[in-house]
Structure 1
Amino acid sequence: MKLCRPLLAACALGLVAQTSSLLAEDNAPPPPPQGEHAKGPRGPMTPEAYIQRIEKAVGPLTTEQKTKITDILADTKKKMESVKPDEGREKFRELMQAQQAAVRAVLTAEQQTKFDAMPRPGPRGKRPE
């Protein structure tokens, strides 16, 4: 009987240690976001994710098209960073429309038709008017 008590205590201690380590894993912070939105679901889309999204809708892009689109996205980002707070949403909307037109111009006629049909980000995929 004297041997059972220490053995039982050791088992109980092991069970408590195992449970606490499992609880610690549950409380671990989530991994950093990756993929389409590096800054969260409402953050900007990465150029790679944007290109993947276009390719999914219009088909494969050439290396030249990908390079031009990446340049267009970088240019738009730079312009958006320079927008003053008082210029507001209207300026952002203008910049996004200009970006869409520039990206569209890079595509072939067949790709443009598919690009025009692809849903746009925003409330329920509606195109901004």
Structure 2
Amino acid sequence: MIVDSGQIVTRLQTTPYDALQAAFRKAMAAYPRLHNGDLDTCYNFTGYGNVTVPRIALTFAGGATVDLHVPHGILLKNCLAFEESGPDIGLGMIGNVNTRTLQVLYDVGRSQVGFRSDAC
């Protein structure tokens, strides 16, 4: 997985993206879908006073889990801020929507990246 602050949305390989999209759409079934052309999982929240967005967590090899902020780390303009990157053999990319409420820590010496919530 690559962390790319220049990439807006997170790009996942086909299998994890399909699973995320299906679960997210099921959890958001109370809201009408909106087809805006940019991202494929968008909603029309007009007239809804309170919108309940499901939690999403990124789990990495080794077991580290990062809970994304609801809704600002999950939605971009009422759309799921994830898209499919292609075949499962490629790398995924974490975009800046998912990290905007996190402090990203880079340990170059150990080739590790860390995330801390509620730091920004």
The answer, yes or no, to whether TM exceeds 0.5 is no
Say which one has the larger Rg.
Answer: 1
TM-score range, shorter chain: under 0.3
Q: Structure 2 length normalisation: TM-score?
A: 0.27
Q: Structure 1 length normalisation: TM-score?
A: 0.26
Larger % of strand: which?
2
Larger % of helix: which?
1
